[in-house]
Amino acid sequence: MILAALVMVVQVAAQDPRLERLDPGTRSAVSAVVDSARGDGLPVEPLIQRALEGATKGAPGARIVAAVRRLTVDLGAARLALGTNASAAELEAGVAALRAGATPEILAHLRDLRRPPLTMALSVLADLVASGVPADSAAAAVLALAPHARDADLVEFRRAVERDIALGAPPGAATSIRVNAGAENVFSGTGTNPGTVPRPRRP
């Protein structure tokens, strides 16, 4: 009895203090998921942030716990695809890409094509899908640009596609046209010069 109480006290003490914004039941469930993820070697900061997002947005506890559990599973899937050396940022971007519809094979292929970090390439893939580009088109575009494009080139590519879509171009066509133009720029070394990007920049 005393031992159990002592274990509980230690557990509470080990909890991230930021989780005190959750109600006790939700906090306990989220902490258990976080501890389990930590034990599996997964990054826990994304899990805590997801829980805090739910708390700030006033989501019910059950929904917060479900979101954190789902993210844990997806982080594991991303690590399986990207490898154990993948950083926390890469895993988080990998989750976004997987949720956007990229397959684990695409993530693994990207890992083989591009020197790390893969965070931007994975994010651009997910963001393109969010803009309406079909997942297979987005994946094909990113895989085509990945070997040579810098992160800034990928961001510029995404913005160009988004502009074309906003002007009325079909998302798939905008992507394929821009990927060809982007590839020419990248391969001829006329991509965006990071030195010309004003700071601070916009998202």
Q: Please report, as ranges, the residues that interact with another protein according to CB under 8 A.
A: 18, 46, 49, 52-57, 59, 63-64, 66-67, 70, 87-89, 92-93, 96, 99-100, 116-117, 119-120, 122-124, 126-127, 129-131, 150-155, 158, 162, 194, 199-203
Nearer to another protein, 78 or 143 (CB): 78
CB 26 to another protein: min, Å: 13
Characterize 97-135 residue by residue with b for buried, 16 or more Cβ atoms within 10 angstroms of its Cβ, and e for exposed: bbbbebeeebbebbbebbeeebbbbbbbbbbbbebebeb
CA separation for the pair 7, 142 (Å, rounded): 49
Nearer to another protein, 2 or 48 (CB): 48
CB 148 to another protein: min, Å: 11
Please answer whether residues 145 and 156 qualify as being in contact, where contact means their C-beta atoms are separated by less than 8 angstroms.
no
CB 146 to another protein: min, Å: 12
Please answer whether residues 180 and 150 qualify as being in contact, where contact means their C-beta atoms are separated by less than 8 angstroms.
no
CA separation for the pair 104, 106 (Å, rounded): 5
CB 8 to another protein: min, Å: 25
Nearer to another protein, 6 or 166 (CB): 166
